[in-house]
């Protein structure tokens, strides 16, 4: 299980392990977020271990 922290501070779990699949699983477009693990940016192709926490940064500015 991977824990996903959303930009608004809420959390969700995903059973996938590739970032690209995790994003799809939690309904995020990979062009609209950045993914951070342990303070580092990662690309959507990487796979993460069970228990990893990933943080999403929204990149879309409004108005």
Partner 1 sequence: MKCIKCEENAVISLSRHNAGFCKEHFTEYFHRQVEAAIKEYAMLKTSDRIMVCVSGGKDSLVLWHILNLMGYKTAGMYVSLGIGEYSQKSKAKVNAFAQKNGLDAIIVDLDDEGCPIPLLAARTKRNACSVCGQVKRHFFNKVALDGGFTVAATGHNLDDEAARLFGNVLRWDTKHLAKMSPVLPEEGETIKRKVKPLIRLPEREVAAYAFLNGIDYIPDECPKSRGASSLKYKEVLNELEASSPGTKHFFYGEFFRAAADRFPYITNENDEDKMKKCIKCGAETYLDVCSFCRLKEKLNG
The residue ranges that bind partner 1 (CB under 8 A) are 7, 29-34, 36, 40-46, 57-63
Q: How far apart are CA 25 and CA 49, in angstroms?
A: 16
Q: Answer whether 43's CB lies under 8 Å from 22's CB.
A: no
Closest distance to partner 1 from the beta carbon of 30 (Å):
7
Q: How far apart are CA 32 and CA 38, in angstroms?
A: 20
Closest distance to partner 1 from the beta carbon of 33 (Å):
8
Residue 1 or 58 having the CB closest to partner 1: 58
Closest distance to partner 1 from the beta carbon of 44 (Å):
6
The secondary structure of residue 52, as a DSSP letter, is -
């Amino acid at each position: 299980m991977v824990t996903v922290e959303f930009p608004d501070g809420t959390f969700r779990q995903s059973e996938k392990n590739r970032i690209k699949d995790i994003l799809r699983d939690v309904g995020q477009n990979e062009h609209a977020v950045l993914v951070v693990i342990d303070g580092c940016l990662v690309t959507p192709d990487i796979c993460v271990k069970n228990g990893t926490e990933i943080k999403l940064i929204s990149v879309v500015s409004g108005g």
